[in-house]
Chains A and B, each alone.
Chain A
Amino acid sequence: MYSGKDRALRALNKPSEYGPDLDISQYSRETKNWEPCIISNLPRDVLERALNVGVVVEDKERAATYFQIDHSVIFKAVQDFFENKIEVMSIKEALAKYDWLKDYWWKIVEVDKDKYTALAEIALDQGYFIRILEDQKIVLPLQACLFIATDNLNQNVHNIIIAEPGSEAQVITGCTLHPSVQRGLHIGITEFYVKHDAKLTFTMIHNWSEKFDARPRSGAIIEDNGVFVNNYVCFKPLKSLQSYPVAYCKGRNARARFNTIIYGTGESYIDVGSKIILQNEGCKGEIISRIIAKDRTQIYSRGFLLGEHRDSKAHLECRGLLLSDEAMIHTIPELVAKAQGAELTHEAAIGKISEEQIQYLMARGFSRSEAEALIVRGFMDVSIFGLPKEIEREIQRLIEVTTERAL
């Protein structure tokens, strides 16, 4: 049997199944070492960018914070009140501390899936380890910021989140870069372990730039009565983004939900999907996407539901709004049933802003542009996602900012 490193080495030239193939040698691995510091001491332009991906400075609003710039962990802390309830550390620190962590390392995402997973193994920079201890219900969100401050950098992170039995938490991860950074490649591996009766809500907010590439690779295993909610938000243009996270509903009554909101602008090439595998009795899954394509954006929106148990159920819903004739939205929903009784459904609809809707709102006194903005915001209405209030507010705020500027 090959070790992880060997498998990764053999996969270094293996293109991803989806998305444009990147030449990984074109990015730099050189960056300075960033000294640890408290977040409020970071430069203002860094903090502003962080705020735009949901990462706040005031530690009273967050149970814990992890902040990484380029390849350096500059800050990590758990608020006093949550000490002994959660653990937050860098992944290298965690691997050194916990021998058992190897049983969680590359156990959901395959190390040789493609050249990006391979690179994350061979040239691991950092990443975070978050563990919610048994039966702890964490009322405030935990936050992590993965920041890039060096142009043309390749940043490889590997994160592991473990929600121990009976625990509950919300994690916000914001990935972004310094205004001076144009090019680069972010590879983010995240493996989620939702133990029995645990509930984990994970929200990833991306904010890159026009020449930047991102390849997140995530997977989750959900045990008995566990609930995993994954939100993905991307409102800013980038060169290419490809990701197809998977959730394995392994235990009885395990539930998974993927909510995706993408506002694609500029020349962005975006290929994003979600997979749910229903493996046990009473498993439920839901994939909901809201996709907007403007300018010359190309968006592929994938969804895959696999019913392996006769008493399982899942639904996939994708709505697309095309705001330009040069943009493209391609939805690819797939349903696979391998057990009689598995109930899988999907609905997909792509359209433009309806003239009838605009006129109706104009008949209520809104100007045409106000009406359009209202409809676009309404299209991205996150209240249907059933998110924790803090997360919903955060995403709503981003939507306001995005649509204000764009429309």
Chain B
Amino acid sequence: MTKNILEIRDLSVEVSGRRVLDNVNLQIPEGEVHVLFGPNGSGKSSLVMTLLGFPAYKVVSGRIFFKGKDITDLPTNERVKMGISVAFQHPPTIRGVKLGQILRHLMSDEKKIIDLFNKVKFPQSFLERDVNLGFSGGEIKKSEILQVLAHGGDFIVLDEPDSGVDVENLRILGSVVNEMLRDRSALIITHLGVIFQYVNADMAHVLLNGTIVCSGSPTKILGQILNEGYAWCEKCIQARTERCEL
């Protein structure tokens, strides 16, 4: 039996007293790539923040296990050390903190950092840029992927890696992500699934109103969503039908 790298049990989370995740259950076996679909505001990013243990995301019930260890109460940097690497959708700008300072903290070998820049076709001048200050949408994505690569965790979380990226850069990022995920586990959050032109996923989940309502084949679920929208998922739950792949 394969081990789960991530296991979320009955997880409910509140932000300022407002429920953002409700009884979420999710298992990702080692080596698998899972996708999380969901409309805006359904709680996808909240799940990422909770996974990282950001203090504003208060776990009111349930546990999170990573590599078999209960990490529910660990500080963010401890979780990251265990091997969780996250590419954020909207990372903050930090004036005066250079992208290079972060990368060098993650990876001491300067030569390897340069290799990574070449790999994602990102100008090295960004090493000396204030992180995310004046970055374009595509540059933010590249910078995030670079940081994930430099960290080198074995569980990768990509929050909307394909939004706001032009075709050419999408191709570059797609192939880098595909290569990166070959020997790793991952959770990819996406809206439109454009990234799946480049990356194969093993399983998809749909998050609606903070709950996972459906799990199954990524292509089938994505097909349904693209054809009929999330409204269909709502109907699906109401009808209590079988999983959409069937």
Q: Provide the main secondary structure of the chain A interface.
A: helix
**Could you tell me if A360 and B77 are in contact, using CB atoms closer than 8 angstroms?**
no
Contacts A355-B56, A378-B130; A362 near B75 (Cβ below 8 A): yes
Q: Is the CB of B95 within 8 A of A364?
A: no
Q: Tell me if B91 and A362 are in contact (CB < 8 A).
A: no
B106 touches A365 (CB 8 A): yes
* Assembled-state Cα–Cα distance A377/B92 (Å): 17
Once the chains bind, are A368 and B75 in contact (CB under 8 Å)?
Answer: yes
- Cβ of A134 within 8 Å of any chain B Cβ, yes or no, is no
Contact (Cβ within 8 A) B52 A365: no
Q: Is the CB of B101 within 8 A of A363?
A: no
User: Could you say which residues of chain B place their CB within 8 Å of the CB of A356?
Assistant: 92
Residues of B within 8 A of A366 (CB): 77, 105
Contact partner, B97, options A359, A363, A375, Cβ 8 Å? A375
Give CA–CA (A354, B86) in the complex, Å: 19
Are A364 and B75 closer than 8 Å at their CB atoms? Answer: no
Contact B105 A375 (CB under 8 A): no
* A365 x B96 contact (CB < 8 A): no
Size of the A side of the interface (Cβ < 8 Å), in residues, is 21
Please state if B56 and A364 are interface contacts (CB–CB under 8 Å): no
Report the Cα distance A367→B79, complex, angstroms: 11
- The answer on a CB contact under 8 Å between A374 and B52 is no
What is the distance, in angstroms, from A142's C-beta to the closest C-beta of chain B? 29
Instruction: Tell me the minimal C-beta distance from A364 to chain B in angstroms.
Output: 5
Chain A: CB-nearest residue to B93? A357
A312 to B130, CA, bound (A): 30
A-contact bits for B51-79, CB 8 A (1 contact / 0 none): 01011100000000000000000011100
Contacts of B97 on A, CB cut-off 8 Å? 357, 361, 374-375, 377-378
Are B105 and A364 in touch, CB under 8 angstroms?
yes
**Residues 357-395 of A contacting B (Cβ, < 8 Å):** 357, 359-368, 374-375, 377-381
Known: A359-B54, A362-B80, A363-B76. A375 touches B102 (CB 8 A): no
Tell me the B98-124 residues at the A interface (CB within 8 Å).
98, 101-102, 105-106
B106 CB contact (under 8 Å) in A364, A367, A379: A364
Q: How far is the CA of A201 from the CA of B89 in the complex (A)?
A: 43
B147 cross-chain contacts in A, Cβ below 8 A: 364
Are A374 and B80 in contact, with the CB atoms below 8 A? Answer: no
- The CB with the most chain A CB atoms within 10 A, among B75, B88, B96, is that of B96
Contacts A374-B101, A378-B130 known; A362 to B94 CB distance under 8 Å?
no
Task: Quote the shortest CB–CB distance from A59 to chain B (angstroms).
Answer: 33
**Contact among B91, B95, B102 with A379 in the assembled complex (CB-CB below 8 Å):** B95
Flag if B94 contacts A364 (CB, 8 Å).
Answer: no
Question: Does B240 belong to the interface (CB within 8 Å)?
Answer: no
Distance, CA A381 to CA B98, complexed state (A): 10
Q: Write out the residue numbers on chain B whose beta carbons fall within 8 Å of the beta carbon of A380.
A: 96
Interface assignment of B235: CB less than 8 Å from any CB of chain A: no
User: Which chain A residues border B44 with CB–CB below 8 Å?
Assistant: none
Tell me which residues across on chain B come within 8 A of A367, comparing CB atoms.
Answer: 75, 77
Tell me if A365 and B94 are in contact (CB < 8 A). no
Taking a contact as CB atoms under 8 Å apart, the answer to whether A360 and B91 are in contact is yes
Instruction: Tell me if B94 and A378 are in contact (CB < 8 A).
Output: yes
Chain B, 201-221, contact with A by CB distance < 8 Å: what is the 0/1 string?
000000000000000000000
Complex contact B105–A360 (CB within 8 A): no
Residues of A within 8 A of B151 (CB): 364-365
B94: chain A residues at CB < 8 Å are: 357, 360-361, 375, 378
Nearest residue (CB) in A for B102 is A364
Contact A360/B92 with A366-B77, A366-B105 known, Cβ cut-off 8 Å: yes
Complexed CA–CA distance, A103 and B147 (Å): 60
The answer to whether A361 touches B96, judged by C-beta atoms less than 8 angstroms apart, is no
- State in angstroms the CA–CA spacing of A357 and B93 once bound together: 8
Residues of chain B contacted by A381 (CB below 8 angstroms):
95-96, 130
Cβ B105 vs Cβ A365 within 8 A = yes
For B88, the chain A residues whose CB sits under 8 A away are 360, 363
Which A residues form the contact surface with B (CB < 8 A)? Answer: 354-357, 359-368, 374-375, 377-381
> What would be 27 A-B contacts, judged by CB atoms less than 8 Å apart?
A354-B92, A355-B55, A359-B52, A359-B54, A360-B88, A362-B76, A363-B52, A363-B76, A363-B86, A363-B88, A364-B80, A364-B106, A365-B77, A365-B80, A365-B81, A365-B151, A366-B77, A367-B75, A368-B77, A374-B101, A375-B96, A377-B96, A378-B97, A378-B98, A378-B130, A379-B96, A381-B130
- List 17 additional A-B contacts (Cβ < 8 Å) besides A359-B55, A375-B96: A357-B94, A359-B52, A359-B54, A360-B92, A362-B75, A363-B52, A363-B76, A363-B80, A364-B102, A364-B105, A364-B106, A365-B151, A367-B75, A374-B101, A377-B96, A378-B96, A379-B96
